[in-house]
Chains A and B, each alone.
Chain A
Amino acid sequence: MTDRPIVAGKRVRACRFISLGVALAAGLVLTGWMLHAPTLLRVRSDLPAMNPITALCLLLGGLASARLATRESSALGRGLALAAAALAAMGLLAGFPAAGVIGDRLFAAWQARPEWRPMPQGTAAAMILIGLALALMDARALRTRTWSQVMVVMAMAPSLLTLGLLSFGAPLRSDLPLLQPMPIQTAVAIAALASAVLMIRPRGGVMEVVWGDTMGSATFRLMIPVVILVPVALGWLHLIGIGRFEELSQSAALVATLTTMMLVAGLWFVARGLSRAEAKRVEAERALVESQQRLEMVLHSVGVGVWDWNIEADTVTFDDIVKAQWHVEHDGPVRMQEVIAHIHPHDRRRAIGRVRRAVRVGHEYITSYRILHPDGAVRVLGARGYVTRDAQDRPVRLTGINWDMTLQHEAELARSHAQLQQLELKDQFISHVSHELRSPLTVVFSFLEILLDGLAGELNEQQREFLEISQRNAVQLRQMIDDLLDVTRAQTGKLAIHPRRMRVAGEIEATLEGLRPQALAKRLTLETALPEALPAALADPYRVRQVLTNLVDNAVKFTPEGGSIRVTVDEASEGLLLSVIDDGPGIPPAEREDIFRQLYQIDYGAPTARKGLGLGLYICRQLVTKMGGKIWVESAQGQGSRFCFTLPCYSPAAAIAPLLTPDNLARRAFHLLRITCQPSSARSWSDKDEAALIDVYEVVRSCTLPDRDMVLPRLGVEDDRESILVLACGDPAAVATLERRIQGQLSLSPALHSGRLAWIIHALALDPAIIPQQDPARWADALARNVETALDDAAAWRDAA
């Protein structure tokens, strides 16, 4: 046990003051007794004097209390307290006439001194209890503290009872069997000492109620003097002869005193109930505040701000972080409209859309947008919101968080930029290398052709065979260089695709025609199964031929001599399904996906098959995917392979579907513009015209407004002419503006070799007869039919021209 001093508070000082006061008074009484000065022992000459043993007990108790009040634990204090208790016990025993032989002997001397009257039982019991309570006092153990407090309260009872009886005017010389009258000064001193002891360590234990910070405790403290001190004061007044009270019967006074004490006890219970309830509430509030502080701390440290939108009142409140993030200057709630004004114009529509959808149907949204600060700085914020709905499922509040992801965003941009730059460098490098490789290859190629064509003299059989082998390998080398270029383009997103309406049957025939010599050399049969009436596809004919060539070339390579290869076309749900079927060795199941990866080569052990970079199928997949199809292989080992790919069908209805937004449909004003291009002089369509037409198409596309106008996919050249169709949404004036814009851009465009292509722009009326008046859902079909009609019109116009 340490003897550490306790920091002296107001209560400790009061306790010491009272304890020392009691000790001083007791000391005075003792001094008076020793000096035979009886006036010091009496209040009034007719009242009994304080027993000197009692005085000694009080002196010891007072000193012990004063000592213990200032120390966490004190051996001296405990010793003094125990001495007081022992003395009081002896005083108590001395009072019993039948204490037995030992008692008689022990207390003979005591009883011989008339002024050493035995202590009254009440006084003795009180002093024993106070002494023990002080000895038990421990700063740390709540249980002993509770017990010591209970003992002190019990010790107070006889003195309070005495004071009470006096107060209610009962005669001091009592006939009560158990209660010898206690001198009034003893009663006051014990009450004072007991109060002081209760003040020593009030925290915890039963006295918590008295000293607590709660309302219940405060009320209790307020009531105590009223309930106790008023009768005590009245008693004193009576004693010193000022009060004039009727003589009360002793029993009535006892009842009144006990009632007062029970009132105090009742008050204590009520106060305890109140303080416990209040303590719980205070504890809950404190926990709430703490958890809020913790949350705020976390949010602050990760830079997450919180905002709250009261939807009905349209007020947005936010914390300091959000304020800084959004650069909102003034305090207090603002309207949602003002908040939205801070969002970057490009992100505004999307952000509003997200919020609207969450409020309308959802519960949550997550998005990100840029914030434009007044100084021009742009911050990227992540946002997450939760919708609270009432019992009727109406949205009431939107609560959300914002976090700054500018740095993250910038890092991502830089990374993708660096990546793109790297790819760009690779692209440039490969483009350069392929150019440099091609020049010498061209020379080799040309001379091989010259030799094989016999321009340098007749060849014998062996010379011809060797030269043919050289040529075949030169062709392969050229293919590898082409593949290399395409792969790089696929990675940089530069693989150019110009989709248009096309017939796949013609492309298949042409492709097979080109590959027939190689098939013949291996005695393979090349067959096709092409249905009569196939819908047109929407694809780039050049790229379709590239894919077909790759697949058939592979089939020729891997099919053993005398086998057969079949190319078929079917209509499927995704459009057209093209298949190249061979009876080669097949592909193991594990490799069916891998073969479409870069640089993947199946090892069949057949030396002839191992030529190529392993890029062909990878490029095929890139091309088919970019044209909106899928490519895969079906195969069973030893039973050949079936390579399939799909191409979307040309469908005006599908093409214009994105334009049929509710907004556009509500306008119900669609117009068709047709730009017909043909060579300006009477000659057949050439590559140069094709290149020019691609330019025209791009120029027209650049003139249209996204969401409002749409350039339909190209129809393909027929009879040396092609029409580009634009579906425009808007009133006639807007369409006239679009027409002027296209006309102007086409004549200005430096990319168009002036005078090569002639173009005419026509505004075509939509046929009102097939536009449904009521059912917007059928607009897509109706417009598509109109587009088909326009196509027929174009044909008619051609015929007329």
Chain B
Amino acid sequence: MNPPGKKILVIDDDADLIKAIGTRLRAEGFACVSAGDGVQAMAAARREKPDLILLDLGLPGGDGYHVLERLKTLTPTSSTPVIVLSAKDPQVHEARSLAAGADAFFHKPAESATLMAAIQRLLGEVGPSTP
């Protein structure tokens, strides 16, 4: 049902959550890579060239916005859709992250059905990007 081989990068400092999201994504037929902090995230993004990125704003050792900005300015990922997945106050951070270039914002905990729908829509919008 999903385009096979689409790769999603999950950036979050919570290993348990990475495991949960990874399980869900793999069940939906996506390939999943993960990163636990900003440095790892940038390295993984360059190395893996993901089709979509799930980003947590509260990363250790640096602001999630900083990562978002670099993802959106550096060439390999500048056109990759980014979904921000954060537990922070949406009243403040939804508009701010969208302004910073994110394509969607989800407040944790989000229903996986709606999250998956957003992923599908964003991947469809970008069109198939074969590595």
Contacts and interface: CB of A to CB of B under 8 A. Distances in A.
A453 interface: yes
B91 interface: yes
Given A446-B21, A750-B99, 18 more contacts: A431-B89, A435-B87, A435-B88, A435-B89, A436-B87, A438-B87, A439-B17, A439-B108, A442-B20, A442-B87, A442-B109, A443-B14, A443-B16, A449-B111, A453-B112, A474-B109, A688-B103, A751-B95
A298 B125 CA distance: 80
23 contacts: A435-B58, A435-B88, A438-B87, A438-B108, A439-B14, A440-B16, A442-B17, A442-B20, A443-B14, A443-B17, A446-B24, A447-B23, A450-B27, A455-B27, A478-B109, A489-B91, A686-B104, A687-B94, A691-B95, A692-B99, A694-B95, A695-B99, A753-B98
Nearest to A447: B20
A692 B109 contact: no
A496 B91 contact: yes
A695 B95 contact: yes
A441 B112 CA distance: 14
B60 to A, nearest CB: 13
B42 to A, nearest CB: 21
User: Which of A474, A496, A752: most chain B Cβ within 10 A?
Assistant: A496
B23 A455 contact: yes
A687 B105 contact: yes
Interface string A657-701: 000000000000000000000000001001110011011000000
Contacts, number: 86
Contact of B109 (A436, A445, A455): A445
Contacts of A752: 99
- Sorted from nearest, which 4 A-B pairs have the closest CB atoms? A446-B20, A438-B87, A442-B109, A445-B109
Interface of A: 431, 434-436, 438-447, 449-450, 453, 455-456, 474, 478, 485, 489, 494, 496, 683, 686-688, 691-692, 694-695, 750-753
B87 A753 contact: no
A683 B21 CA distance: 28
Binding site secondary structure of chain A: helix
A509 to B, nearest CB: 18
B29 interface: no
B85 to A, nearest CB: 8
Contacts of A694: 95
B36 interface: no
A694 B101 CA distance: 16
Interface string B61-104: 00000000000000000000000000111010011001101111
A455 B21 CA distance: 12
Interface bin, chain B: 20 to 34
Contacts of B94: 687, 691
A449 B112 contact: yes
B64 to A, nearest CB: 12
Contacts of B23: 447, 450, 455-456
Nearest to B108: A442
A757 to B, nearest CB: 12
A60 B108 CA distance: 121
A449 B24 contact: yes
A660 B54 CA distance: 50
Nearest to B105: A687
Interface of B: 14, 16-17, 20-21, 23-24, 27, 58, 87-89, 91, 94-95, 98-99, 101-105, 108-112, 125
Contact of B99 (A431, A449, A683, A751): A751
A438 B101 CA distance: 24
Contacts of B110: 442
Contacts of A431: 88-89
B125 A683 contact: yes
Nearest to B24: A450
User: Which of A434, A494, A687, A692: most chain B Cβ within 10 A?
Assistant: A687
A304 B60 CA distance: 62
A688 B98 contact: yes
A415 B86 CA distance: 36
Contacts of B20: 442-443, 446-447, 450
B104 A687 contact: yes
A671 B14 CA distance: 55
Contacts of A496: 91
Nearest to B27: A455
Nearest to B101: A753
A347 to B, nearest CB: 34
A746 to B, nearest CB: 14
Nearest to A681: B125
Contacts of B95: 691, 694-695, 751
Contacts of A450: 20, 23-24, 27
B87 A687 contact: no
Nearest to A488: B89
A441 B107 CA distance: 12
Contacts of B99: 691-692, 695, 750-753
Contacts of B24: 446, 449-450, 455
Contact of A446 (B17, B91, B104, B125): B17
Nearest to A430: B89
Contacts of A683: 125
Contacts of B88: 431, 435
A687 B98 contact: yes
Given A439-B108, A447-B20, A489-B91, A691 B14 contact: no
A453 B109 contact: no
Nearest to A441: B109
A439 B17 CA distance: 8
Contacts of B112: 446, 449, 453
B107 to A, nearest CB: 8
B109 to A, nearest CB: 4
User: Which of B14, B95, B101, B125: most chain A Cβ within 10 A?
Assistant: B95
A485 B108 CA distance: 14
Nearest to B90: A485
A455 B19 CA distance: 13
A449 B21 CA distance: 11
B94 to A, nearest CB: 6
Nearest to A450: B23
B38 to A, nearest CB: 18
